[in-house]
Amino acid sequence: MTRTNCDPKEFMLLILNEHLKFLNRLKRRKIPDNYHHFVDEEKERTKQQIELVNKDLPLLIKMPNIVKKDHQILILEEQMNNLQVEYKECVNENLILTNQEKAVNKIFKIENQYINLYERLMSLINQDEGEDEGENEGEDEGEGEENEGEEDKNEKDEDERKWWRD
């Protein structure tokens, strides 16, 4: 019996009964005691749903059309082939995702290397300016004002690096 050739009520009952069987098997297995109450609650809900289906839904088709065995085999083979194709697609998507993650990780590494090199460059520039300031202390005060402007530029460069890290 397939889904298309079955009464909706019988189909729902079939699914609910299978779910109930699954819950019974689950409880028989060794699961931690603290999960037993969840299984019991789910069993009660499933039983209530079965009762609702039995009471409220009329039997639309009394005799379900039984599909021939050969046709069932063909349907199952087709479903298996579809599952195999979906599995291959999922595996390929996972490979693509892992490659994307690797690519993103490489990009982050390159960005971090760039930031480190930029920081080293700025520290070297600041050291050179510090040495130049020490040599030029006896000269005009006007040059000192220019150095203050360069310090403002360095602060702006640091601000730019901060957004780069974020």
- 94-106 confidence digits (pLDDT tens): 666 666 676 666 6
Q: Quick check: is 85 in a domain?
A: no
- Residue 1 pLDDT class (50, 70, 90 cuts): very low
Q: Which two tokens stand for residue 103?
A: 């690519």
**Last residue of a domain, which of 51, 67, 83?**
67
Q: What is the pLDDT of residue 44?
A: 92
Q: Quick check: is 132 in a domain?
A: yes
Q: What is the pLDDT of residue 68?
A: 61
Sequence-ordered list of residues with C-beta below 8 angstroms from that of 64, at least 6 positions apart, any chain: 1, 5, 6, 7, 10
Question: In Å, what is the CA distance from 35 to each residue of 17, 26, 29, 45, 63?
Answer: 21, 10, 12, 16, 40
Burial 96-130 (b: 16+ CB within 10 A, else e): eeeeeeeeeeeeeeeeeeeeeeeeeeeeeeeeeee
Report the SS3 class of residue 1.
coil
Between 137 and 7, residue with greater pLDDT? 7
Does residue 63 share a domain with residue 2? yes
Q: What average pLDDT score do residues 131-153 get?
A: 53
**Last residue of a domain, which of 16, 50, 67?**
67
Between 50 and 133, residue with greater pLDDT? 50
Q: Quick check: is 75 in a domain?
A: no
Domain that includes residue 3, residue range: 1-67
The domain tally of the chain equals 2
Q: Quick check: is 76 in a domain?
A: no
Q: Is the pLDDT of residue 28 over 70?
A: yes
Q: Is the pLDDT of residue 70 over 70?
A: no
Does residue 59 share a domain with residue 106? no
**Last residue of a domain, which of 67, 93, 122?**
67
Mean pLDDT estimate for the chain? 69
Torsion of Cα atoms, 136 then 142 then 143 then 147, to 10°: 120
Q: Quick check: is 82 in a domain?
A: no
Q: Quick check: is 159 in a domain?
A: yes
Q: Quick check: is 144 in a domain?
A: yes
Check residue 58 and report its DSSP letter. Answer: -
Check residue 31 and report its DSSP letter. Answer: -
Q: Quick check: is 93 in a domain?
A: no
